Amino acid sequence: MPGRILKSAGLLGLILAVRPALAAEPGLSVSDAWMRVVLSSRPAAGYFTLSNASARDRTLVGAETPACGQLMLHRSVHQGGQDRMEMLKSVPVPAHGTVKFAPGGNHLMCLMPTTDVAPGHTLAVTLRFADGGTLVATFAVRGAMAK
Ligand SMILES: [Cu+2]
């Protein structure tokens, strides 16, 4: 009986080890991914760094997570003394290039956040590319004071 449990655990470990490889996009990687939530009733903003180590230009066209009713690509713009946001249809990620989503600039806007969007939680966010590729990144949720 203990032998059977060990065998199952080994198989589970194998499945977990293989899964990230299946989801991986050649050359694309995400780092410093986090989401800031101020009030659970208000939209949350997501930030990350996306690197393209490949020789092929890529284009980010969308993002989604079950933790948000809708997740949009946004850009903060300062115009005429006012801050506002506009939607981005796509964001180029050049070959051997890096794109930053950071406070004051590009960000993911999480509309209708669920209770999962709470400080201390982590969220799986799927990034979608123009060529149909996807990349799943883990975002750490932080509170209002996070920078
Ligand atoms: Cu926004």
pLDDT in tens, 36-85: 999 988 999 999 999 999 999 999 999 999 999 999 999 999 888 888 99
Could you say which of 3.30.950.10, 3.20.20.10, 2.60.40.1890, 2.40.30.10 is the CATH number of the domain covering 26-142? Answer: 2.60.40.1890
Q: What is the pTM of this model?
A: 0.81
What's the gap in Å between 144 CA and the centre of ligand 1?
Answer: 15
3-state secondary structure of 57: coil
In the chain, where are the structural domains located? 26-142
What's the gap in Å between 74 CA and the centre of ligand 1?
Answer: 5
What's the gap in Å between 110 CA and the centre of ligand 1?
Answer: 8
Least confident of 1-15, 29-43, 52-66, 98-112: 1-15
What's the gap in Å between 45 CA and the centre of ligand 1?
Answer: 7
Nearest to 124 by CA among 114, 56, 8: 114
| Side-chain half-sphere CA neighbours of 139 within 13 A | 35
What's the gap in Å between 143 CA and the centre of ligand 1?
Answer: 17
* Residue 53 Rama label (left phi>0; alpha psi -120 to 50; beta): alpha
What's the gap in Å between 111 CA and the centre of ligand 1?
Answer: 9
What's the gap in Å between 128 CA and the centre of ligand 1?
Answer: 18
Here the tokens at position 19 are 């899964």
